[in-house]
Chain A
Protein backbone atom coordinates (compact mmCIF):
# COMPACT_ATOMS: atom_id res chain seq x y z
CA UNK A 1 0.00 0.00 0.00
CA UNK A 2 1.34 3.43 -0.95
CA UNK A 3 1.88 5.61 2.10
CA UNK A 4 3.08 9.21 2.33
CA UNK A 5 3.59 11.03 5.61
CA UNK A 6 4.64 14.67 5.87
CA UNK A 7 6.35 16.23 8.87
CA UNK A 8 8.22 19.37 9.82
CA UNK A 9 5.43 21.92 9.84
CA UNK A 10 4.81 24.38 12.64
CA UNK A 11 4.99 28.05 13.52
CA UNK A 12 7.58 30.06 11.60
CA UNK A 13 8.35 33.77 11.78
CA UNK A 14 8.04 35.93 8.63
CA UNK A 15 11.31 35.78 6.72
CA UNK A 16 12.14 32.45 8.29
CA UNK A 17 12.82 29.04 6.81
CA UNK A 18 11.63 25.50 7.36
CA UNK A 19 12.28 22.11 5.77
CA UNK A 20 9.38 19.75 5.31
CA UNK A 21 9.90 16.01 4.97
CA UNK A 22 7.79 13.30 3.41
CA UNK A 23 8.39 9.67 4.36
CA UNK A 24 7.18 7.21 1.75
CA UNK A 25 6.61 3.47 1.52
CA UNK A 26 4.80 0.90 -0.57
CA UNK A 27 6.37 1.72 -3.93
CA UNK A 28 9.75 2.03 -5.65
CA UNK A 29 10.49 5.61 -4.63
CA UNK A 30 13.41 6.16 -7.03
CA UNK A 31 11.15 5.42 -9.98
CA UNK A 32 8.44 7.88 -8.97
CA UNK A 33 8.08 11.55 -9.86
CA UNK A 34 6.97 13.48 -6.78
CA UNK A 35 5.33 16.83 -6.20
CA UNK A 36 4.44 19.19 -3.39
CA UNK A 37 1.02 20.86 -3.34
CA UNK A 38 -0.25 23.30 -0.76
CA UNK A 39 -3.69 24.50 0.26
CA UNK A 40 -4.01 28.04 1.55
CA UNK A 41 -7.01 30.13 2.54
CA UNK A 42 -6.13 32.74 -0.08
CA UNK A 43 -5.31 30.69 -3.16
CA UNK A 44 -6.80 27.26 -2.58
CA UNK A 45 -4.82 24.34 -4.03
CA UNK A 46 -1.49 25.31 -5.55
CA UNK A 47 1.20 23.13 -7.14
CA UNK A 48 4.63 24.03 -5.75
CA UNK A 49 6.86 21.96 -7.97
CA UNK A 50 7.98 18.48 -8.85
CA UNK A 51 11.11 16.37 -8.89
CA UNK A 52 11.34 13.74 -11.56
CA UNK A 53 12.13 10.13 -10.84
CA UNK A 54 15.84 9.52 -10.45
CA UNK A 55 15.47 6.99 -13.24
CA UNK A 56 14.19 9.88 -15.38
CA UNK A 57 16.97 12.33 -14.49
CA UNK A 58 15.78 13.66 -11.12
CA UNK A 59 15.37 17.23 -12.40
CA UNK A 60 13.04 19.79 -10.84
CA UNK A 61 10.35 22.13 -12.15
CA UNK A 62 8.76 24.99 -10.22
CA UNK A 63 6.05 27.57 -10.86
CA UNK A 64 7.42 31.12 -11.12
CA UNK A 65 6.01 32.47 -7.82
CA UNK A 66 8.05 30.01 -5.70
CA UNK A 67 10.99 29.27 -7.96
CA UNK A 68 13.51 31.36 -6.03
CA UNK A 69 12.23 30.53 -2.53
CA UNK A 70 11.31 26.84 -2.50
CA UNK A 71 13.54 23.83 -3.25
CA UNK A 72 12.51 20.21 -3.68
CA UNK A 73 14.98 17.39 -3.12
CA UNK A 74 14.92 13.64 -2.63
CA UNK A 75 16.94 10.92 -0.91
CA UNK A 76 16.20 7.67 -2.68
CA UNK A 77 18.24 5.65 -0.15
CA UNK A 78 15.73 6.69 2.53
CA UNK A 79 12.62 6.98 0.29
CA UNK A 80 12.30 10.56 1.49
CA UNK A 81 11.11 13.73 -0.21
CA UNK A 82 11.92 17.22 1.04
CA UNK A 83 10.69 20.77 0.57
CA UNK A 84 12.88 23.66 1.72
CA UNK A 85 10.87 26.85 2.25
CA UNK A 86 12.78 30.13 2.54
CA UNK A 87 11.85 33.80 3.00
CA UNK A 88 8.42 32.83 4.26
CA UNK A 89 5.52 35.28 4.22
CA UNK A 90 2.17 35.26 5.96
CA UNK A 91 0.38 34.10 2.80
CA UNK A 92 2.54 30.96 2.76
CA UNK A 93 0.44 29.78 5.70
CA UNK A 94 -1.33 26.59 4.77
CA UNK A 95 -1.30 22.82 4.62
CA UNK A 96 1.54 21.29 2.60
CA UNK A 97 1.03 17.92 0.92
CA UNK A 98 3.48 15.60 -0.79
CA UNK A 99 2.06 13.63 -3.68
CA UNK A 100 3.05 11.08 -6.27
CA UNK A 101 2.58 12.73 -9.62
CA UNK A 102 2.31 11.70 -13.21
CA UNK A 103 0.69 14.97 -14.15
CA UNK A 104 -2.28 14.17 -12.02
CA UNK A 105 -1.60 13.80 -8.29
CA UNK A 106 -2.26 10.17 -7.66
CA UNK A 107 -1.54 9.61 -3.97
CA UNK A 108 -1.44 12.23 -1.20
CA UNK A 109 -0.07 12.40 2.30
CA UNK A 110 -2.20 13.73 5.16
CA UNK A 111 -0.45 17.11 5.01
CA UNK A 112 1.54 19.22 7.45
CA UNK A 113 0.47 22.68 8.59
CA UNK A 114 2.85 25.60 8.24
CA UNK A 115 1.85 28.81 10.01
CA UNK A 116 3.84 31.96 9.24
CA UNK A 117 3.30 34.52 11.95
CA UNK A 118 5.27 36.73 14.30
Chain B
Protein backbone atom coordinates (compact mmCIF):
# COMPACT_ATOMS: atom_id res chain seq x y z
CA UNK B 1 0.00 0.00 0.00
CA UNK B 2 1.12 3.56 -0.66
CA UNK B 3 1.72 5.43 2.58
CA UNK B 4 0.78 9.11 2.65
CA UNK B 5 2.51 11.36 5.19
CA UNK B 6 1.31 14.90 5.84
CA UNK B 7 3.22 17.64 7.63
CA UNK B 8 2.88 19.40 9.88
CA UNK B 9 0.16 17.65 11.92
CA UNK B 10 -1.02 21.02 13.22
CA UNK B 11 -0.36 24.48 11.87
CA UNK B 12 -1.17 27.67 13.77
CA UNK B 13 -1.80 30.72 11.59
CA UNK B 14 -3.65 34.01 11.41
CA UNK B 15 -6.24 35.38 9.01
CA UNK B 16 -4.43 36.72 5.95
CA UNK B 17 -1.42 34.41 6.30
CA UNK B 18 -0.06 32.39 3.41
CA UNK B 19 0.15 28.76 4.46
CA UNK B 20 1.69 25.70 2.84
CA UNK B 21 0.78 22.12 3.70
CA UNK B 22 2.90 19.17 2.61
CA UNK B 23 2.06 15.64 1.56
CA UNK B 24 4.62 12.95 0.80
CA UNK B 25 3.93 9.58 -0.80
CA UNK B 26 5.93 6.39 -0.25
CA UNK B 27 6.11 5.87 -4.02
CA UNK B 28 5.47 7.91 -7.13
CA UNK B 29 1.89 9.01 -7.77
CA UNK B 30 2.73 10.78 -11.02
CA UNK B 31 0.05 13.47 -10.36
CA UNK B 32 -2.80 11.30 -9.09
CA UNK B 33 -3.33 13.20 -5.88
CA UNK B 34 -6.31 15.01 -4.37
CA UNK B 35 -6.74 17.44 -1.46
CA UNK B 36 -9.80 17.72 0.82
CA UNK B 37 -10.97 20.13 3.48
CA UNK B 38 -12.99 18.92 6.45
CA UNK B 39 -14.82 21.23 8.82
CA UNK B 40 -15.77 19.84 12.26
CA UNK B 41 -18.88 17.69 12.08
CA UNK B 42 -19.01 17.76 8.27
CA UNK B 43 -17.98 15.49 5.43
CA UNK B 44 -14.73 16.16 3.60
CA UNK B 45 -14.95 18.42 0.57
CA UNK B 46 -12.83 17.99 -2.55
CA UNK B 47 -10.62 21.02 -3.19
CA UNK B 48 -8.05 19.88 -5.75
CA UNK B 49 -7.57 16.83 -7.95
CA UNK B 50 -4.82 15.66 -10.24
CA UNK B 51 -2.38 17.54 -7.98
CA UNK B 52 -3.22 21.05 -9.19
CA UNK B 53 -6.70 21.21 -10.76
CA UNK B 54 -9.11 23.31 -8.71
CA UNK B 55 -12.52 21.73 -8.19
CA UNK B 56 -15.43 23.82 -9.44
CA UNK B 57 -16.59 26.35 -6.85
CA UNK B 58 -13.38 26.25 -4.78
CA UNK B 59 -11.90 29.72 -4.15
CA UNK B 60 -8.80 30.59 -6.15
CA UNK B 61 -6.78 31.23 -2.97
CA UNK B 62 -6.33 27.44 -2.86
CA UNK B 63 -3.68 25.96 -5.12
CA UNK B 64 -1.88 22.64 -5.41
CA UNK B 65 1.46 21.69 -6.84
CA UNK B 66 3.89 18.81 -7.04
CA UNK B 67 4.40 15.52 -8.77
CA UNK B 68 5.96 12.15 -8.07
CA UNK B 69 6.18 11.84 -4.30
CA UNK B 70 6.11 15.46 -3.06
CA UNK B 71 3.00 17.65 -3.10
CA UNK B 72 1.87 20.90 -1.52
CA UNK B 73 -1.40 22.68 -0.88
CA UNK B 74 -1.10 26.45 -0.55
CA UNK B 75 -3.69 28.86 0.78
CA UNK B 76 -2.60 32.30 -0.37
CA UNK B 77 -4.50 34.36 2.21
CA UNK B 78 -6.13 32.44 5.03
CA UNK B 79 -9.81 33.23 5.61
CA UNK B 80 -11.91 32.43 8.72
CA UNK B 81 -13.66 29.56 6.87
CA UNK B 82 -10.29 27.94 6.12
CA UNK B 83 -9.59 26.87 9.70
CA UNK B 84 -10.18 23.15 9.23
CA UNK B 85 -8.39 19.85 8.71
CA UNK B 86 -6.88 19.08 5.30
CA UNK B 87 -6.25 15.63 3.87
CA UNK B 88 -4.36 14.41 0.85
CA UNK B 89 -5.35 11.22 -0.97
CA UNK B 90 -3.64 9.17 -3.66
CA UNK B 91 -5.45 7.40 -6.46
CA UNK B 92 -2.47 6.19 -8.42
CA UNK B 93 -2.94 2.60 -7.29
CA UNK B 94 -5.21 0.41 -5.17
CA UNK B 95 -5.90 0.66 -2.36
CA UNK B 96 -6.56 4.37 -2.53
CA UNK B 97 -5.16 5.88 0.65
CA UNK B 98 -5.33 9.09 2.67
CA UNK B 99 -2.86 11.03 4.73
CA UNK B 100 -3.49 11.51 8.44
CA UNK B 101 -4.40 15.17 8.01
CA UNK B 102 -3.10 18.64 8.85
CA UNK B 103 -5.19 20.74 11.20
CA UNK B 104 -5.02 24.48 10.51
CA UNK B 105 -5.88 26.32 13.69
CA UNK B 106 -6.13 29.95 14.72
CA UNK B 107 -2.94 31.37 16.21
Contacts and interface: CB of A to CB of B under 8 A. Distances in A.
User: Interface on chain B toward A: helix, strand, loop, or mixed SS?
Assistant: loop
Contact of A61 (B34, B94, B98): B94
Nearest to A46: B98
A104 B95 contact: no
B96 A103 contact: yes
State which size class the interface on B falls in.
Answer: 20 to 34
Contacts of A110: 42-43
A63 B97 CA distance: 10
Interface string A13-54: 000000000000000000000000000000011110000000
Interface of B: 1, 32, 34, 36, 42-46, 49-50, 55, 87, 89, 91, 94-98, 100-101
Interface of A: 44-47, 61, 63-64, 97, 103-111
Given A45-B87, A45-B98, 13 more contacts: A45-B44, A47-B95, A47-B97, A47-B98, A61-B94, A97-B44, A103-B32, A104-B34, A105-B36, A105-B89, A106-B55, A107-B46, A111-B43
